[in-house]
Chain A
């Protein structure tokens, strides 16, 4: 099956810093989503981005499908950005998603 690798596994930042999270996948996809899981376990969908670039406030994401990677940018990080960021991909006509292991982000005040 398709493999999803996220890097780095852990990231510690000071408030106000910028960061880039990466997601590599091993095969063609037609569905790619980024999620944020807060410390209470709630998973929030950040972006549905099988290709191209999207921005939402301080967050933006870019997927280069031909090169099989996606990037999530966080600018001017805040303590509330802490949590685990997951990349998940889907293929073909399947509605199921395969998740990476996540990047654990800690933003210190």
Chain B
């Protein structure tokens, strides 16, 4: 375990389903992130939460809805997804105040939309 835990590891869902991805960090960090990694594309930043406040929404469609109830937990709620949303979804955390070292990533959730 890297200190950032993501569940589930794999998820298959239909286009009409609603599901949630969970991320938990045990490092005392104060910023958390969602990234999307599709085949043959760079990692794309989706959302940033800094001290539980959303500071970045990188033009993500509304069918993805993040939630950050506290500095240790981050969720990504999914509904009415499309097949092109199939990807590896990665959560990360970092210390931003004061700034220290780098990101720690979770193992990711591999999502398949059918």
Q: Which residues of A contact B (CB under 8 A)?
A: 4, 31, 33, 35, 40-45, 47-48, 86, 88, 95-102
Contact = CB atoms under 8 A, between A and B. Distances in A.
Contacts of B104: 45
Interface residues of B, number: 26
Contact of B33 (A33, A44, A48, A96): A96
B50 A95 contact: yes
Give the interface SS of chain A, mostly helix, strand, loop or mixed. Answer: strand
Given A95-B96, A99-B43, A100-B42, A42 B2 contact: yes
Contacts, number: 53
A78 to B, nearest CB: 21
A69 B42 CA distance: 18
Interface of B: 2, 31, 33, 37, 41-43, 45, 48, 50, 55-56, 88, 90, 92, 94, 96, 99, 101-105, 107-108, 110
Max chain A Cβ within 10 angstroms of own Cβ: one of B2, B43, B101? B43
A36 to B, nearest CB: 11
Contact of A95 (B31, B101, B108): B31
Contact of B105 (A4, A31, A40, A45): A45
A40 B37 CA distance: 13
